[in-house]
Amino acid sequence: MDGALAWIDCTVDAEHPAGDHVIVVARVTGLDRHDDGGPLVFFRGAYGGFRA
């Protein structure tokens, strides 16, 4: 995705039906970050960040 702070490559190891959802268990095969931007955090119904 353009503008993403990081990326993760995974391979799917298993999929488990869970009602109207599917729980996916995956193995991380690679990851990296693109820049020094801060993470986007969603907590208690609102977006925020971390303070240093």
Neighbours of 10 (CB within 10 A): 13
The strand ranges marked E within the chain are: 6-18, 21-33, 41-43, 46-48
pTM passes above 0.85: no
* Tokens, residue 36: 């020094």
Q: Supply the pLDDT for residue 42.
A: 83
> Residue 5: left (phi > 0), alpha (psi -120 to 50), or beta?
alpha
Please write the tens of the pLDDT for every residue from 1-52: 777 778 899 999 999 999 999 999 999 999 998 767 776 788 888 887 766 5
